[in-house]
Amino acid sequence: MAETSQGILRAAALSELLPPLTAHEAAVESARCLMCYDAPCTHACPTHIDIPKFIKKIASRNLRGSARTIFESNLLGATCARVCPVQELCEGACVLGAEHKPIAIGRLQRYAMDFAYDEGWMPFSPPRSTGKKVAVVGAGPAGLSCAGELAKRGHHVTLFEKRDMGGGLSTYGIIGLREPVEVALAEVAMLAKLGIRIEAGKELGTNLALAELQKDFHAVFLGVGLGVTTTLGIPGEEYILDGLEYIEQSKLNLHTLIVGKNVVVIGAGNTAIDCATIAKRLRADLVTMVYRRSEKEMTAYAHEYEFIKREGVRFSFLTQPVAVRVDHGKVTALKCVGMSLGSLDASGRPAPQPLPGSEFELPADQIVKATGQEKPSLASVLKLRTAKGFIETSDQFETSLTGVYAGGDCIRARGAASTVMAVQDGKLAARSIHERLVAHG
């Protein structure tokens, strides 16, 4: 009994942070939108959703029309409504933001999407078949978006996914407090209704060969994402938990997730923040985020940083982990060295350098690393041309192999990778593929 109620409390601690807008809140907020012409929010959105249009449809109580407007530009509108860094995108560009409060675009989008999913309504139905077959590898945001856009145009799409479930990071790698698993899976199910065939447990290079895909399909899209979490190369690393697995466990196997009393999270990106949030919300006494550069260079969004500070997480900036201290088979501390920032490195940020004699220990009984993912290893396996380790593509999202396209995190050599960028890649790649398939009769 105690076990069960404990489980409910833990699940509640990680349940979706923002409540849905009520009908009244949505009416008031949508009425507040000025309906800018050629609106900056639409420009700022990587998928260029016609935002004033969908918001004013909420105001006029045409919720189907509102959902359709979103879907037309972004098939993963339900995910994006939750995980988009709206402060940097649409809401950041809202003309009411400067002297007032920007329109809550993300939450209004969620309102329209919730309506569509609650009704089980989808504006598109599979059109007449073109007879063309496309293989999409990876059922993350890029792959789903590409597959959906192609299916909308009547192509036969087979979506190969190495994991059991689709959704990619939306399902496995984003804290449930921002996107519950159910939302990501509902999106996959909705896209499947467009006639997409999903083959789970198929991994390129393991039980799936690119050459065969090229032979069996008219085109291939790779939305394979990135590799495993980077290696720190420090003694005792085997005692450090993987951040993405930590999040995955909190979403799919919460009852098995053991959270330490004194947790150190290595890294200062959005995944690291998710890990710290999980630890803090599941009752760790102390959570410390360790980052080798300073506050200014951290890659997490500003609003995420604000959020995690309010959660009560501590920071140790300019701190480089050097070893894990293990006593009697248990983690007791993270050995660190203080850093100073030198001249700019290849990433354009000041390079951190160890300060001699500044070694210290951060006591910890659990250490989690979220220091970014390895570049896509598939690129070299598949002999694709790369740019800075990422798969290189043309403006049409075509790789160095004719008829093989790619998008999402695996091509994101420049700029911040995000779900919505991946969705746009998938959408634009689908357009290129469609043009190619149509042009080739």
Residues forming contacts to another protein in the complex (CB under 8 A) are 27-28, 30-32, 34-41, 43-46, 48, 59, 87-89, 92-93, 95-96, 98-99, 424
Q: Please, what is the minimum distance in Å from the beta carbon of residue 375 to another protein?
A: 22
Report the alpha-carbon distance of residue 319 to residue 324 in Å, rounded: 14
Q: Please, what is the minimum distance in Å from the beta carbon of residue 41 to another protein?
A: 7
Instruction: List strands edge to edge, sheet with 314-316.
Output: 241-242, 366-369, 262-266, 286-290, 314-316
Q: Please, what is the minimum distance in Å from the beta carbon of residue 28 to another protein?
A: 5
Q: Quick count: other Cβ atoms within 10 Å of Cβ 207?
A: 10
Closer of 115 and 217 to another protein (Cβ): 115
User: Mapping DSSP to helix (H, G, I), strand (E, B) and coil, where does residue 102 land?
Assistant: coil
Q: Are 205 and 137 in contact (CB under 8 A)?
A: no
Output b/e per residue, 264-300; b: 16+ Cβ within 10 A.
Answer: bbbbbbbbbbbbbbbbbbbebebbbbbbbbbeebbbb
Closer of 27 and 208 to another protein (Cβ): 27
Q: Please, what is the minimum distance in Å from the beta carbon of residue 182 to another protein?
A: 28
Closer of 93 and 265 to another protein (Cβ): 93
Closer of 89 and 275 to another protein (Cβ): 89
Eight-state DSSP code of residue 247: H
Q: How far does the chain reach from its first CA to its final CA, in angstroms? A: 64
Closer of 36 and 165 to another protein (Cβ): 36
Closer of 27 and 185 to another protein (Cβ): 27
How far are the Cα atoms of 86, 236, 325, 370, 430 from residue 336, in angstroms, in the given order? 35, 13, 10, 16, 47
Closer of 202 and 431 to another protein (Cβ): 431
Residues in the chain: 441
Q: Please, what is the minimum distance in Å from the beta carbon of residue 408 to another protein?
A: 15
Q: Please, what is the minimum distance in Å from the beta carbon of residue 282 to another protein?
A: 34
Q: Nearest-CA neighbor of 329 among 239, 262, 237?
A: 239
Closer of 100 and 309 to another protein (Cβ): 100
Question: Which residues fall within 8 angstroms of residue 104, CB to CB, at 6 or more apart?
Answer: 21, 29, 91
Instruction: List strands edge to edge, sheet with 319-327.
Output: 319-327, 330-344, 350-363
Q: Please, what is the minimum distance in Å from the beta carbon of residue 398 to another protein?
A: 15
Q: Please, what is the minimum distance in Å from the beta carbon of residue 32 to another protein?
A: 7
